[in-house]
């Protein structure tokens, strides 16, 4: 299921607000908790998941919901149906978060690529600590032009884009270019 703006609350993940989200990560978190308690065949994963989605779509009066508060609600639901062990094993998983590379480039300052990479590394580590398994980097071209102090796309910009992808690979994120964004997994990021 996908969050349609206006139906579900915005999810607050640290300093980030996530809208228009798919809810697969909620089901994955519930199944992961069942797996950790040796209940891999837990028959109510889909029922609990659908209950959470129903709550988000129809009963949550908040327009901004902190990720931790959502997981408190899921734990409460699991305990109410007698699954306290699974509730206690539930680990927070965040929806995919989009990070603006342009903001990171501006924060780093024109031409300061090392600071740019440090900012990205800090943000990825922070998001992983909050339960994010993947991130999307947006405004790729804009960030490169800020770092290169360029108004026009050049061979130097092309090289910096390749360097960013290489750095992301070295970080273990398995980057994938998806149009104007880059998708990265956070599984191998060191916290």
Alpha carbon 77 to chain centroid distance? 24
* Global model pTM greater than 0.75: yes
Of 9, 119, 97, the closest CA to residue 53 belongs to 9
How confident is the prediction for the chain on average, in pLDDT? 90
pLDDT for the residue 187: 86
Average pLDDT over residues 90-119: 89
Contacts of 165 (CB under 8 A, 6+ apart): 175, 177, 182
pLDDT for the residue 7: 80
Task: List helix spans (H) across 41-108.
Answer: 45-54, 67-80, 84-89, 101-108
Beta bridge partners of 13: 16
pLDDT for the residue 111: 64
Do 37 and 85 have their domain in common? Answer: yes
With respect to residue 37, please indicate whether it lies within any of the assigned structural domains: yes
Do 14 and 53 have their domain in common? Answer: yes
Do 103 and 179 have their domain in common? Answer: yes
Average pLDDT over residues 9-17: 93
For residue 166, give the H/E element and its range. helix 155-170
Query: Which domain range does residue 170 map to?
Result: 97-185
Of 85, 117, 88, 90, the closest CA to residue 104 belongs to 117
With respect to residue 2, please indicate whether it lies within any of the assigned structural domains: no
Q: Which long-range contacts (CB under 8 A, 24 or more apart) does 45-49 make?
A: 48/74, 48/77, 48/78, 48/81, 49/23
């Amino acid at each position: 299921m996908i969050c349609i703006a206006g139906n579900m609350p915005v999810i607050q993940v640290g300093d980030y607000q996530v809208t228009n989200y798919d809810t697969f990560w909620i089901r994955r978190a519930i199944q992961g908790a069942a797996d950790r308690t040796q209940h891999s065949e837990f028959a109510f994963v889909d029922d609990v998941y659908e209950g959470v989605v129903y709550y988000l779509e129809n009963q949550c009066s908040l327009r901004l919901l902190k990720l931790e508060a959502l997981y408190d609600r899921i734990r409460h639901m699991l305990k109410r149906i007698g699954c306290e062990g699974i509730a206690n094993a539930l680990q927070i998983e965040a929806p995919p978060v989009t990070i603006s590379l342009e903001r990171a480039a501006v924060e780093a300052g024109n031409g300061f690529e090392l600071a740019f990479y440090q900012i990205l590394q800090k943000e990825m580590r922070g998001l992983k600590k909050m339960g994010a398994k993947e991130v999307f980097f947006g405004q790729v071209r804009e960030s490169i032009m800020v770092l290169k102090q360029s108004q026009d796309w050049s061979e130097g910009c092309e090289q910096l884009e390749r360097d960013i992808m290489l750095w992301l690979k070295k970080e273990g994120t398995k980057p994938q270019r998806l149009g104007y964004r880059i998708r990265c997994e956070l599984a191998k990021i060191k916290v």
